[in-house]
Amino acid sequence: MAYRMILNERSYFGAGAIENIPVEFKGRGLKKAVVITDKGLLKAGVVDNVTAILDRENIDYEIFDEVNPNPSVDNVKAGVEFVKNANADCLIAIGGGSSMDTAKAVGIIIENPEFADVVSLEGVADTKHKAMMTFAVPTTAGTGAEVTINYVITDTANKRKFVCVDPNDIPDVAFVDSDLMMSMPAKLAAATGMDALTHAIEGYITPGAWEMSDMVHIKAIEMIGANIRAAVKGDPKARENMATGQYIAAMGYSNVGLGLVHGMSHPLSAWYGIAHGQANAILLPTVMRYNKDFTGEKYRDIAKALGVENTESMSIEEARDAACDAVLQIAKDVEMTEKLSDLGVKAEDLPEIAKDALADVCTPGNPREAKLDEILELYKSLM
């Protein structure tokens, strides 16, 4: 069996990484950029960190700030029209996964206009051309979208999120500048951090995992487990480590896929607008227990990476429970353990939500084949 690894062309890491944007922009002979971001980051002055550099270097740009927390089909269509009217030749996505996902969809459609309806991009779309030149500047340590071939768009008309998987959408250059992540509120740092942990764990246990993906995922689990608590409290070094850890996790899952946590999380965001990382944080410990008998020795590795002592002397059952307990404790420590009902989820909606979860593109990547009634019971157990 042949395995495939796709990564982006180039990445810069560490405080001040965004200073390299002009180097890449001018070195590639680019003329004008559209900055894709959201109004919150613009108002908070986070985007100014980048645009000040563009101004200083006399780089022409316009700003599209209509990105929503769960970017929609209409968001993407508006972005496409904005970029066309701007006559730009480069996108600079600034923000979390929402900005990155919007930019990916926009960039793909600009170069593959036959997908202008957006919804036809669902799954593995047969795009012919690489997306418009895209620079990715993450401001959260969670999605790793700056190095993945995936993006998620919300079809609000049908209350569903759909996942797009396309090697042509991967950003050309990423600037993982931890300075831009220092102003994250604690709750956002917790939610995005738990999202990154979910990526690493699901990527590690998916049936498509192999030696190279295992290597990056276990390192990501180790880094995230060691730093997430301090990062939520605002520790600068921990936030820098989280920025690296989430990127490492994304290197792996982008290539081997995810599982039921994401399959169940996507409908919750589509139906209720629940933040993706928060939904993952609630689901992860429970779905891990559901999967534990289908993971071989991998939960022992996870427990060890999360700092659990004496894992080698544990029975397989003890090691699996230790991994689940360690993840649940992290979720509790960063205050990400609300019940679904506390977030507005309605019991009467669960049968339809469970159907959406079963149909989600991530669900087949689960190590245990999930059935509809089992998914429904998992949801109910978290109410």
Angle, vertex CA 56, rays to CA 53 and CA 62, nearest 5: 65
In tens, the pLDDT along 173-204 reads 999 999 999 989 999 999 999 999 999 999 99
Asked if residue 122 and residue 79 are part of one domain, the reply reads yes
Judge contact between 264 and 283, C-beta under 8 A.
yes
Taking the chain (383 residues) in runs of 10, the rounded mean pLDDT of each run is: 89 95 97 97 95 98 94 95 97 95 97 96 94 96 92 89 93 95 93 97 97 97 98 96 96 96 96 93 97 97 98 97 98 91 95 97 97 98 96
pLDDT digits (tens, 9 = 90+) for 116-158: 999 999 989 999 999 999 999 999 998 899 999 999 999 988 8
Q: Are 129 and 16 part of one and the same domain? A: yes
Residues 38, 177 within the same domain: yes
* Structural domain harbouring 82: 10-181
- Which bin fits 204, alpha (ψ -120 to 50), beta or left (φ > 0)? alpha
Q: What is the pTM of this model?
A: 0.94
CA 254, CA 381: separation in Å to the nearest integer? 30
**Cα gap 58→383, rounded to integer Å:** 53
Per-residue model confidence (pLDDT) at position 352: 97
pLDDT value of residue 157:
86
Q: Amino acid letter at 296?
A: G
User: Which of 128, 158, 181 marks a domain boundary?
Assistant: 181
Same domain, 226 and 80: no
Structure confidence at residue 338 (pLDDT): 78
What's the pLDDT score for residue 1? 79
Q: What is the DSSP code (8-state) at residue 337?
A: -
Q: How many domains does the chain have?
A: 2
Q: Are residues 303 and 372 in the same domain?
A: yes
Residue bearing tokens 């080698």? 312
Q: Which pair of tokens denotes residue 298?
A: 């991998």
Output phi, psi for 207, to 5 deg.
-60, -20
Phi, psi of 2 (to 5 degrees): -95, 140
Instruction: Verify that 216 and 303 share a domain, yes or no.
Output: yes
pLDDT of residue 337: 75
Distance CA 199, CA 203 (A): 6
Is position 329 within any domain?
yes
Q: Is 28 inside a domain boundary?
A: yes
